[in-house]
């Protein structure tokens, strides 16, 4: 019963993001935001990243976005860590860009396998933003992405092939694996 209740909360969080952005359904920002709030209250940590995204991209309130991203990052959510790094890298970040905080969060998310965070970490090392400039560290992150990306590319291609063959369970399983590795397109395709 607990597993089922948790799955319902997770599905509500994913559906909320689709409603807010209008992907696959009629856009309903207010309804989607309410769903995200309920999912966060029920303990679905990833919904904190969704709340941060809503405030960053839809309400334009970066202070509120930072609040939710920090909560998610403190709970170990790699997507919140990545998003927190992205906000800290923005020129319009409250208080100005903070590349030391950005790289700290990107690095933490990359350590959990978040590919985009590894790319951002490599870029900050390459240009010496928030850390001493180090091309060798940048190459280390870029190499890790290249090695990991090859497996993700094969996995997402297999998922797409299964989808076209109407083998939806097999497609879902592969999209889910790729999504857990940080591939956002696969996360969306798994929900779809």
- Reported as a single tens digit per residue, the pLDDT across 121-143 is 999 999 999 999 999 999 998 88
Q: pLDDT value at position 182?
A: 65
Q: pLDDT value at position 188?
A: 66
- Does position 9 have pLDDT exceeding 60, yes or no? no
Q: pLDDT value at position 174?
A: 85
- Reported as a single tens digit per residue, the pLDDT across 57-111 is 888 899 999 999 999 999 999 999 999 999 999 999 999 999 999 999 999 999 9
Q: What number of other Cβ atoms are within 10 A of residue 102's Cβ? A: 24
The closest alpha carbon to 120, from 106, 131, 130, 133, belongs to: 106
The closest alpha carbon to 45, from 81, 21, 18, belongs to: 81
Highest mean pLDDT among 58-67, 146-155, 173-182: 58-67
The DSSP line for 123-192 is HHHHHTSSS---HHHHHHHHHHHHHHHHHHHHHHHHHHHHHHTT-HHHHHHHHHHHHHTT-HHHHHHHH-
Q: pLDDT value at position 62?
A: 95
- Classified as helix, coil or strand, 57 is helix
Q: d(Cα 125, Cα 131) in Å, to the nearest integer?
A: 6
Q: pLDDT value at position 171?
A: 87
Q: pLDDT value at position 4?
A: 46
171 or 2, greater pLDDT: 171
Q: d(Cα 186, Cα 180) in Å, to the nearest integer?
A: 9
Note whether 104 and 86 are within 8 A (CB): no
pLDDT band, residue 191 (cuts 50/70/90): low
Q: d(Cα 64, Cα 101) in Å, to the nearest integer?
A: 17
Place of tokens 């935001």: 33
How far does CA 78 lie from the centroid of its chain?
7
């Amino acid at each position: 019963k607990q597993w089922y209740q948790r799955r319902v909360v997770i599905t509500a969080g994913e559906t909320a993001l689709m409603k807010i952005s209008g992907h696959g359904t009629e856009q309903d920002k207010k309804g989607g935001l309410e769903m995200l709030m309920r999912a966060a209250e029920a303990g679905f940590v990833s919904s904190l990243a969704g709340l941060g995204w809503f405030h960053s991209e839809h309400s334009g309130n970066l202070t509120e976005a930072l609040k939710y991203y920090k909560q998610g990052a403190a709970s170990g959510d790699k997507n919140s860590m990545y998003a927190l790094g992205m906000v800290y890298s923005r020129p319009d970040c409250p208080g100005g860009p903070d590349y030391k905080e950005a790289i700290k969060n990107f690095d933490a998310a990359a350590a959990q396998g978040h590919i985009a965070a590894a790319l951002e970490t490599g870029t900050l090392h390459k240009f010496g933003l928030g850390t001493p400039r180090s091309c060798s560290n940048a190459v280390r992150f870029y190499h890790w992405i290249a090695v990991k990306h090859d497996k993700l590319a094969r996995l997402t291609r297999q998922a797409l092939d299964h989808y076209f063959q109407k083998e939806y369970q097999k497609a879902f399983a592969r999209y889910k694996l790729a999504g857990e590795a940080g591939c956002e397109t696969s996360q969306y395709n798994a929900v779809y």
